Amino acid sequence: MLRRVLEEVGLFLIPFLLFFGYLLLVGRNPFHRVHWEAQVFRLVLAGFGVVIASLVLTGLFSERHSDGYVPAHMENGRLVPGQFR
């Protein structure tokens, strides 16, 4: 679960990193607040857009199992690992 949250946070930060790179390329100091103030709202919207798009695409194209999950159980004195059937 933590991995999934960290992936989404990373995806949210992509627009900010791209803007940081853009500021470096055009020769502006990316650590000055003046360059960020007008763009923060747009960057947040872009970050949310990337996260929502990734969640929708994951939901549409993720692997599906038509059968249910059978948890690990004991059968004839042996532990049978959990599996999808």
Contacts of 10 (CB under 8 A, 6+ apart): none
In this prediction, residue 38 carries a pLDDT of 93
* 47-73 per-position pLDDT tens digit: 999 999 999 999 999 888 777 888 999
**15 and 50 Cβ atoms separated by less than 8 Å:** yes
What digits encode the pLDDT tens for the residues 19-44? 999 999 999 999 999 999 999 999 99
* CA–CA separation, 82 and 85 (whole Å): 10
Q: What is the pTM of this model?
A: 0.72
Residue 80 backbone dihedrals phi, psi, to 5 degrees: -100, 120
Cα distance from N-terminal residue to C-terminal residue, the chain: 24
3-state SS, residue 45: helix
What is the model's pLDDT at position 19?
A: 97
